[in-house]
Structure 1
Amino acid sequence: MSSPAREPLLAVSDLSIDLTGETVQRGLIHDVTFAVAPGESVALIGESGCGKTMTAMAVLGLLPRGFAVTGGEILLAGRDLLRCSARELRAVRGRTIGAIFQEPMSSLDPTMRVGDQIAEARRLHLGESRRVARVRAKELLDRVGIADAARRLDSYPHELSGGMQQRVMIASAIACDPDLVLADEPTTALDVTIQAEILELLRELRSEQGIAVLLVTHDLGVVADFCDRVVAMYAGTVVERAGVDDLFADPAHPYTRALLDAVPQTGHPRTLLPVIRGRVPAAGHFPAGCRFEPRCAHGGDARCLAPQHETTLAERRTVRCARAADGDPVTRPVATV
């Protein structure tokens, strides 16, 4: 599933985000670097609290109040989004970048008919008339697999099932033919059958329209099935970047290894499920050295107590681990209950 190197559509370099205001916490997101090429799907993975969604929101220019980007750059087709005004970012969102959020009922306007919500993006960004935009909205509902689209144009979000709501979100995200779609846990609240349908729809959009996807997810099965490359994050930093096949076959960072081992396996009854001891450190309370060191099977190594830096292992593959950089093996965590 790996793809050849291409010029990136999205390039995030050395991104840092701090909590500002009355309470200051630095380095919540620290030195995050990754890229997404045209037509490529890249996954951000990691436990809750690792900074995946915060990183994605920085790309969209939608950080919560009190958080600020304090370093790095975010280039979209060579344009630095961090230097754009609020008005310029509004023009980018929906037109060049589409967004699919985890909870459609929290993102769709409950007071607007779904057809009007989809058409609104085309009217704002493309200047279409209400009539033309509505025709296009019906075509989009057809495209995302909603039956009887002409009637559903006049439905309110609460009148649709969860799977249909997510399809409406996708239709809205692709309404203006964006180059990049940012999908934050797009299948988490759906049953496995609807999950498969949504992923197949996104796969078709990538194939037919060349849309790139930045996928934020906990589901490693979805990553293996859908993505080209993986960016593993822990406690606000990128610990490993690799092609999906390379990462699943031979993870280089102990955290990535532990994540993969924690996935339940079929065909092995009465075996203990490996777990990662402890939890992600709270924001502002990160260890001075490797942020994963207190939970790592190799914790206590003097190399782990020093600040960690990204090391290039191969083309388009990096790891932030001094042990891995020295070629030391990554062992499996001990299963506990």
Structure 2
Amino acid sequence: MSHPTTDAVLEVEGLTLDLAGDLAQPRLVHDVTFAVPPGASVALIGESGCGKTMTAMAVLGLLPAAVRVGAGSVRLDGRELLGLSPREISAVRGGAVGAVFQDPMSSLDPTMTIGDQIAEPRMLHLGERRAPARERARELLELVGIPDAGRRVSSYPHELSGGMQQRVMIASAIACEPRLLIADEPTTALDVTIQEEILELLDELRAQTGMAVLLVTHDLGVVADVCEQVVVMYAGHVVERAAATDLFAAPRHPYTRALLRSMPGLRAPRTLLDVIPGRVPPPGAIPAGCRFRPRCGFAVGDCTAEPGEDAVGDGHTTRCLRVARGDLDLEVAR
């Protein structure tokens, strides 16, 4: 298995998360490894329940109380984040690492003007006074494409459309010029036209500022447009890692192939989309061996053994016993 590069902004290596409580599940997320190079955009993709957001929350130090880090390492510019005190990880979050979530109205404070909400990270993390921080907030609103920014700094969240609220969230997330931006389903609550605008904005900001981006999404169309590397997750495992061009040209894992076949843009008009049978196993019901086995049309008897992550090309890995043996490409899914 290949390992993260030492010059990466973010290095996640062997991350394992355990769930306690009524739905106790050891290795809920298991042996997750990937890296985000400087200035790059990397996607974490998979269906809901595959562990994408939980992995991102581990990076941000925002895991639910019932989830514990069982093993692994999360490093930002070489600094280990796991094990930091709440004060230390809070200093990282919002400073060196910015975050944008899918529902801006649940993240924005309805009692504060958007100018104050964007200025607050600069005051907290950079020690900037309110007046220059508010002026920078105005500049950031212009940067993210909000018209009449001088007036909008005094607006409240409810006075803005959903698309503008998300732009405010992005402005707040980049207020301290972070090294890494984590965007967790940032366009899910928006209509298609606004989704495209937000994705283009993120890509433009990455090019302008040099920040790295970790995009958490279930939308492969999004990945094709703005990401250079792709990490495919299923039921808490990384099942495939590759450059975006390689992944779309030659997906190797059966789950990745199934995801691509289900994309509307790849099918002829008026044809039914392919559907992956079954569903992602919930906590407490993850099968032994290959976690995708119960839904896989390529599964055979020895898929009850847990596969490792094997290199199948330059920077391309997959977690499938049959791919590792080289006998899968000759088969047709049942």
8 Å Cα contact 1:276-1:333 kept in structure 2: no
Query: What SS is found at the alignment partner of 1:265?
Result: helix
The residue that corresponds to 1:163 in the other structure is 163
Amino acid at match of 1:212: A
Residue 242, structure 1, aligned to residue 242, structure 2: yes
More off after superposition, 162-171 vs 202-211: 202-211
The residue that corresponds to 1:303 in the other structure is 302
8 Å Cα contact 1:41-1:215 kept in structure 2: yes
* Equivalent residues in 2 for 1:51-130, closer than 5 Å: 51-130=51-130
Q: Distance in 1 between matches of 2:265 and 2:100?
A: 30
Amino acid at match of 2:306: P
For residue 24 of structure 1, report the CA deviation from its aligned partner.
3.1
Q: Distance in 2 between matches of 1:284 and 1:309?
A: 21
8 Å Cα contact 1:9-1:77 kept in structure 2: yes
Structure 2, unpaired ranges of 5+: none
For residue 101 of structure 1, report the CA deviation from its aligned partner.
0.4
Q: Distance in 2 between matches of 1:292 and 1:26?
A: 17
Query: What SS is found at the alignment partner of 1:98?
Result: strand
Q: Distance in 1 between matches of 2:267 and 2:40?
A: 33
Q: Distance in 2 between matches of 1:140 and 1:280?
A: 40
Q: TM-score, normalised by structure 2?
A: 0.95
Amino acid at match of 1:275: V
Q: Distance in 2 between matches of 1:37 and 1:265?
A: 29
Residue 317, structure 1, aligned to residue 310, structure 2: no
Q: Distance in 1 between matches of 2:265 and 2:212?
A: 30
For residue 57 of structure 1, report the CA deviation from its aligned partner.
0.4
Q: Residues 38 and 332 from structure 1, CA distance in 2 versus in 1: closer, same or farther, beyond 3 angstroms?
A: farther
Q: Distance in 2 between matches of 1:57 and 1:207?
A: 25
8 Å Cα contact 1:275-1:333 kept in structure 2: no
For residue 85 of structure 1, report the CA deviation from its aligned partner.
1.0
CA deviation string 1:311-335 (max 9, x = no partner): 011222110000000112356656x
Query: What SS is found at the alignment partner of 1:47?
Result: coil
Amino acid at match of 2:319: R
* Equivalent residues in 2 for 1:219-230, closer than 5 Å: 219-230=219-230
8 Å Cα contact 2:50-2:280 kept in structure 1: yes
Query: What SS is found at the alignment partner of 1:82?
Result: coil
Q: Residues 254 and 176 from structure 1, CA distance in 2 versus in 1: closer, same or farther, beyond 3 angstroms?
A: same
CA deviation string 1:103-158 (max 9, x = no partner): 00011111111110000000001111111101000000011000111111111111
The residue that corresponds to 2:45 in the other structure is 45
8 Å Cα contact 1:119-1:137 kept in structure 2: yes
For residue 210 of structure 1, report the CA deviation from its aligned partner.
0.5
Amino acid at match of 1:310: E
8 Å Cα contact 1:17-1:28 kept in structure 2: yes
* Equivalent residues in 2 for 1:15-54, closer than 5 Å: 15-21=15-21, 24-54=24-54
CA deviation string 1:187-242 (max 9, x = no partner): 11112221121111111111111010000011111100100000000001100000
Number of aligned positions between the proteins: 329
Query: What SS is found at the alignment partner of 1:307?
Result: coil
CA deviation string 1:16-58 (max 9, x = no partner): 1111256632111011111000000000000000000000000
For residue 273 of structure 1, report the CA deviation from its aligned partner.
1.6
The residue that corresponds to 2:152 in the other structure is 152
More off after superposition, 8-17 vs 20-29: 20-29
The residue that corresponds to 2:275 in the other structure is 275
The residue that corresponds to 1:215 in the other structure is 215
Q: TM-score, normalised by structure 1?
A: 0.94
For residue 6 of structure 1, report the CA deviation from its aligned partner.
7.7
Q: Distance in 2 between matches of 1:145 and 1:6?
A: 35
Amino acid at match of 2:20: T
Q: Distance in 2 between matches of 1:201 and 1:231?
A: 22
Q: Distance in 2 between matches of 1:203 and 1:322?
A: 36
Q: Distance in 1 between matches of 2:92 and 2:319?
A: 32
Q: Distance in 2 between matches of 1:22 and 1:311?
A: 34
Q: Distance in 2 between matches of 1:266 and 1:329?
A: 22
Q: Distance in 1 between matches of 2:332 and 2:101?
A: 34
8 Å Cα contact 2:47-2:218 kept in structure 1: yes
Q: Residues 235 and 36 from structure 1, CA distance in 2 versus in 1: closer, same or farther, beyond 3 angstroms?
A: same
Q: Residues 280 and 205 from structure 1, CA distance in 2 versus in 1: closer, same or farther, beyond 3 angstroms?
A: same
Q: Distance in 2 between matches of 1:266 and 1:19?
A: 37
Q: Residues 70 and 267 from structure 1, CA distance in 2 versus in 1: closer, same or farther, beyond 3 angstroms?
A: closer
The residue that corresponds to 1:199 in the other structure is 199
CA RMSD of aligned residues (A): 1.5
Amino acid at match of 1:32: V
The residue that corresponds to 2:172 in the other structure is 172
For residue 272 of structure 1, report the CA deviation from its aligned partner.
2.7
Q: Distance in 2 between matches of 1:163 and 1:276?
A: 32
8 Å Cα contact 2:6-2:78 kept in structure 1: no
Query: What SS is found at the alignment partner of 1:29?
Result: strand
